[in-house]
Amino acid sequence: MIYSKIPLAQTVVSLCKSKGVKHIVISPGSRNAPLTLGFTNDSFFKCYSIIDERCAAFFALGIAQQLQEPTAVVCTSGSALLNYYPAVAEAYYSNIPLVVLSADRPKNLIDVGDGQTINQKNVFESHALFSIDLKLDLKDEKHIHANENVPVLVKVEDRFERLLGLQKNIQTNNEEEINMAINMAIMKKGPVHINIPFDEPLYDVVEKQTVSPKTIEAVAKPHNLEDYVLQSCLEQWDVSPKKMILVGVNMPNQVEMKWLDELAQDDSIIVLTESTSNLHHNGFFPSIDQLIDGLTPEEKKALQPDILITFGGLIVSKKVKQFLRNYQPAHHWHIDRKRAYDTFFCLDNHIEATPNAFFESFLPKILHYVKSHYKTKWLDVKAKRLKKHKDYIKNIPFSDLKVFNKVLKSIPDDSILQVGNSSAIRYTQLFKVNKTLEVYCNRGTSGIDGCTSTAIGCAVAREDKPTVLLTGDLSFLYDSNALWNNHIPKNFRVIIVNNQGGGIFRILPGHKDTENFDTYFETNHNYSAEHLCKMYGMAYQSVDNEDALTSALTTFFSEANQAKILEIFTPKKVNDDVLLKYFEHLKETPKEKADTDNPKK
């Protein structure tokens, strides 16, 4: 087998292999050649070449998101590394194990005017779980002088390393640091950064590995819930007739069905689920915005929970955030082994456990259900909202809202649905999603910058299931380099809802239909994905009315020899009117309220 001649490169590759970092996304470059040679010449690794580093990082994030295993991205030195930052931030807030391997120059060639060189040490700072700057192999430092007539400034710490730090000590240090970084990604589920200095020559290879790095196993510490934590929770639970559970971004099958059934049977509990929660039960409450919008202050006060339990990732619904910030529960518990955000400004209990482990320890200790009409009141609201929702959808013109209704119903069972940010995820939230679908969205930072790349990474990792990306036009065009990718599976499908700009801005307060608004907020455009599809070899179809959409959806998901894109053009000046009137329609009119209060009338 072929190895890079550089011991440090051998060490990085060997430890990635021993820790099961199998998927390696490489962006072409010269300084990272020692790593590229090592990874691509070992059949253990599945390597992908993606030239755009921003797309490469989100592609890797999509793989890691699905496998829940560390996935590596490899880049050359300089600004290439900075292009990883959006995906690193997303991985940090979404708890996705991403391993960044950046090649760098030796310390003495930094800040001396050398090309493709920046300060790479700890460049991700507060958005990485762990950052290390490895030491240059001692024998490589003997070749620092590219030109013996040019003096090289060597820092004091480098001089002492040569005098006192034998190669053995450098090797031991690097092994320990690499082990620590990858273990952190595995145990804490997040991004880590390993910065790796290489000196020239970069392309020399050997047929036998010259180092045997020691693997330090990641050891999971037991997370047993303390009895006093459970007792405190039980005491609060027993005296609270109004309990709300709110679930954010969540991987499928994280909570056993028997615990979901038990939660659904308790009349003092309601469970609000977002589309990204991947949690389904007939007794739960999806479509949060549909449910909450239109409640009067008196109704909100009556529905204010005593206890709020949250778990999963970040919440999409602004309406539930506003509701719970204005009508705060007496107690907010967040269940997560890693961190707890004080989203509603009343967090008083971070329960460091998985949701399933907590419910397994907690629910059997509840001796009786608290007598309550809390769930009944929410069920009443849910029934009214759902009826109004269905009545309104029947009669609206062709628009974004109509499109999302039809598209979400058409996606085949057991598919993976990746949803773009901004309008796409917010429209999706208004509908009850098919429970056989797995739903994902980059809600860590909620950016539009890598939605397509993430979806393609997901599709590559999960070729056993078709992946569908449902996205807006700006999100798709922003990340169009994602299609510059030779790894896209044939069963990958993209549905673009093209309303010729940032449609979400049309429903926000502001002066619409002015030159300033159109240019700087909504960002009007007349672009389509058609020519991109021709360039990248994807099948393309477009529609602009309901009949054409219905017809297109009958064959869009069928098997084909290439990935497909369906672009749906909607009328931008109709969309905002339809959506704003939708929320008005959900509100109970005085007559409807009077009829409800006096059913015999």
- Domain ranges, ordered by start, for the chain: 3-206, 227-379, 396-586
Residue in the structure block whose two tokens are 């020519």: 531
E-strand ranges in 259-340 read 269-273, 307-311, 331-335
Q: Is 267 left (phi over 0), alpha (psi -120 to 50) or beta?
A: alpha
Q: Give the CATH architecture of domain 3-206.
A: 3-Layer(aba) Sandwich (3.40)
Residue 151: the pLDDT is 47
Residue 380 CA: distances (Å) to CA of 1, 125, 299, 386: 68, 49, 12, 10
CA 180, 185, 189, 192: dihedral to nearest 10 degrees? 110
Q: What is the pLDDT of residues 575-590, one digit of tens each?
A: 999 999 999 999 877 6
pLDDT band at 152 (very low <50, low <70, confident <90, very high): very low
Comparing 84 with 157, the larger pLDDT belongs to 84
Q: What is the pLDDT of residues 48-78, one digit of tens each?
A: 999 999 999 999 999 999 999 999 999 999 9
Comparing 139 with 556, the larger pLDDT belongs to 556
Q: Is 314 left (phi over 0), alpha (psi -120 to 50) or beta?
A: beta
Residue 516: the pLDDT is 66
Determine the CATH number of domain 227-379.
3.40.50.1220
The answer to whether 3-206 and 396-586 have equal CATH topology is yes
Strand arrangement, sheet containing 71-75:
46-49, 23-26, 71-75, 98-104, 192-197, 130-133
Residue 145: the pLDDT is 42
Q: What is the pLDDT of residues 354-409, one digit of tens each?
A: 999 999 999 999 988 999 999 999 999 999 999 999 999 999 999 999 999 999 99
Q: H or E segment at 359?
A: helix 355-362
Contacts of 172 (CB under 8 A, 6+ apart): none
Residue 168: the pLDDT is 76
End-to-end CA distance of the chain: 86
DSSP 217: -
Helix (H/G/I), strand (E/B), else coil: 351: strand
Share of the chain residues as helix, strand and coil, in percent rounded to the nearest 5? 45, 15, 40
The average pLDDT across 285-295 equals 93
- Its CATH class, for the domain covering 396-586, is alpha beta
Contacts of 354 (CB under 8 A, 6+ apart): 223, 254, 335, 337
Structure token pair of residue 47: 């390597």
Is the predicted pLDDT of residue 207 greater than 60, yes or no?
yes
Whole-angstrom Cα distance, residue 141 to residue 162? 8
Residue 502: the pLDDT is 61
Residue in the structure block whose two tokens are 């090309």: 115
How many other CB atoms are there within 10 angstroms of residue 247's CB atom?
Answer: 23
Residue type, 60: A
The mean predicted confidence, pLDDT, of the chain is 91
Q: Please say whether the beta carbons of 399 and 545 come within 8 A.
A: no
Give the rounded percent of residues in the chain with a pLDDT score beyond 90. 82
Q: What is the pLDDT of residues 219-271, one digit of tens each?
A: 877 778 889 999 999 999 999 999 999 999 999 999 999 999 999 999 999 99
Whole-angstrom Cα distance, residue 250 to residue 274? 9
